[in-house]
Amino acid sequence: MIRAKTNEMERESSPEKVEQILQGAMQEFLAHGFAGTSMDRVAAAAGVSKATVYSHFADKEGLFKALIERLARKKFQLIFGSEPLEGEPLEVLRQVGTRALEQMSTDQEHSAFMRVLIGESGRFPELAQICVNSMIKPTLVALKKYLASHPELKIRDPEAMARILLGSLVHFHITQEVLHGENIIPMKGDRIIDTMIDLLEKSVRAS
Amino acid sequence: MIRAKTNEMERESSPEKVEQILQGAMQEFLAHGFAGTSMDRVAAAAGVSKATVYSHFADKEGLFKALIERLARKKFQLIFGSEPLEGEPLEVLRQVGTRALEQMSTDQEHSAFMRVLIGESGRFPELAQICVNSMIKPTLVALKKYLASHPELKIRDPEAMARILLGSLVHFHITQEVLHGENIIPMKGDRIIDTMIDLLEKSVRAS
DNA sequence: GTCTATACTAAGATAGAC
DNA sequence: GTCTATCTTAGTATAGAC
């Protein structure tokens, strides 16, 4: 019969290969950056030939962009895409902050992603902007809305406050893990969070 | 006479060439990162031959490290190495913050330096640590000491507070300029500073 | 000390078989 | 669709002349 010409193993194996390629690309690009990564090593890490890589992605740049866009979505959901915020505001903020810090330091991939994203933001500005749009902006908007929806917190500028909260945590992560400062300027992340909550609490009392 | 053997143009022109090389290296490394930079282009940008570059620096890595260490010193002094802090504390903090934000966004070199430093921190951890030691740590220590020396600010954990203040500003700079988010999530830097000062002021009143 | 010319290696991308 | 083999360019580093 005619259908026999297409056996089970070869019909549309593309989706599978694409996934393999992206996995290999992730390993290599996150470890060595764009310029430091060779397509040979990507192919090897993916377990396919170089020609197969080029049959699914136009060139090195196309593969890189596809990977980063994919990772941007994934990272956002992993860190801030949890359950909706409910409960006593300051306690909620403490929990969210603690979870975010923990998630960032647990996930080794996250530090590597930040390195590549920031490191290549000069040569791939559109890519950086995609990440701003799909990670940073949604986080800031969610935080801002949460702060604004709790007038008892007496926050004049929720948008600016959201930046302060997020910035403090992300910068802490950058100095400690991304830049390997843990042993040079050691500090428990909880102190950042405690101090921020303390500030907010006093701010409520003073208003 | 014997001294004539050494004419004016050739005796010890090294320091001059070294400076040229470092200038060229800065231009190239800051624009393209470590792996993306070729020694050919460094030599061309420096206006010397490639062999001359190699006669002063062991290899590409050695040149890169020399450059980054040099820049770390320079950047710190440029942004935070100003006059000692005097005057009403909250007003001093506002001025320092404003100056820092302005300096960071004015100096195009600074964004490029952050990109390279963070981007290469995975492959050059020692280099990242040198920058933590010569830039971030001194800044945090100075801030902490300032905060601690003004008990009227009623700050329980000056060290953590220093991190919050610095982190908010640096993260703002990263999102707006380094990651090109200015048009996506626009905001005047003053709002960050105003909000932080407002928080500190209310914190004083509540204590 | 500095240059020109070159050895050697690796990388991006593709042609052609199956 | 996927592979092996290959073309071509570009990069690091050095040898040898001046």
List pLDDT tens digits, range B120-148: 999 999 999 999 999 999 999 999 999 99
Distance CA A164, CA A150 (A): 17
One DSSP character per residue, chain B reads: -GGGGS-TTTTT-HHHHHHHHHHHHHHHHHHHTTTT--HHHHHHHHTS-HHHHHHHSSSHHHHHHHHHHHHHHHHHHHHH-SSPP-S-HHHHHHHHHHHHHHHHHH-HHHHHHHHHHHHTTTT-HHHHHHHIIIIIHHHHHHHHHHHHT-GGG--S-HHHHHHHHHHHHHHHHIIIIIT--TTTS---HHHHHHHHHHHHHHHHHH-
Distance CA B68, CA B66 (A): 6
If you measure CA to C1', which residue is closest to nucleotide D15?
Answer: B51
- Length, in residues, of chain B: 207
Q: What is the pLDDT of residue B85?
A: 73
Whether B121 and A206 lie within 8 Å, measured CB to CB: no
Nearest Cα of chain B lies from the Cα of A117 at a distance, in angstroms, of 8
Check whether A80 has a pLDDT greater than 80.
no
Check whether B37 has a pLDDT greater than 90.
yes
Check whether B11 has a pLDDT greater than 50.
no
CATH 1.10.357 in chain A, residue ranges? 68-206
pLDDT digit string, tens, across residues B179-207: 999 999 999 999 999 999 999 999 999 98
CATH 1.10.357 in chain B, residue ranges? 69-206
Q: Could you confirm whether domain A68-206 is CATH 1.10.357?
A: yes
**Is the minimum distance from the CB of B48 to strand C below 7 Å?**
yes
CB B52 within 8 A of CB B21: yes
CATH of domain B69-206: 1.10.357
Whether A136 and B181 lie within 8 Å, measured CB to CB: yes
Q: How confident is the model at residue A86 (pLDDT cuts 50, 70, 90)?
A: confident
Nearest Cα of chain B lies from the Cα of A52 at a distance, in angstroms, of 25
Q: How confident is the model at residue B10 (pLDDT cuts 50, 70, 90)?
A: very low
Calculate the angstrom distance between C1' of D17 and CA of B51. Answer: 13
User: Whose CA is closest to B178, among B106, B88, B90, B114?
Assistant: B114
Whether A167 and B169 lie within 8 Å, measured CB to CB: yes
Given the candidates 1.10.10.60, 3.20.20.210, 3.40.630.30, 1.10.340.70, the CATH classification of the domain at B12-57 is 1.10.10.60
Check whether A90 has a pLDDT greater than 70.
yes
If you measure CA to C1', which residue is closest to nucleotide C2?
Answer: B52
- Residue type at B78 in one-letter notation: L
- What count of other Cβ atoms lies within 10 Å of the Cβ of residue B4? 6
Which residues have C-beta within 8 Å of that of residue B198, sequence separation ≥ 6?
Answer: A156, A203
Please tell me which of the candidates A32, A114, A133 has its beta carbon nearest to residue B184.
Answer: A133
Distance CA A167, CA A148 (A): 18
Calculate the angstrom distance between C1' of C9 and CA of B193. Answer: 53
CA B142 to chain centre: 16
Which residues have C-beta within 8 Å of that of residue A193, sequence separation ≥ 6?
Answer: A94, A97, A98, A101, A169
CATH 1.10.10.60 in chain B, residue ranges? 12-57
Nearest Cα of chain A lies from the Cα of B65 at a distance, in angstroms, of 15
Percent of chain B with pLDDT over 70: 92
CATH 1.10.10.60 in chain A, residue ranges? 11-57
Q: What is the pLDDT of residue A81?
A: 66
Q: What is the pLDDT of residue A3?
A: 36
Q: How confident is the model at residue A13 (pLDDT cuts 50, 70, 90)?
A: low
Distance CA A54, CA B15 (A): 48
Domain covering A11-57, topology? Arc Repressor Mutant, subunit A (1.10.10)
Whether B192 and A140 lie within 8 Å, measured CB to CB: no
User: Whose CA is closest to B29, among B109, B107, B106?
Assistant: B109
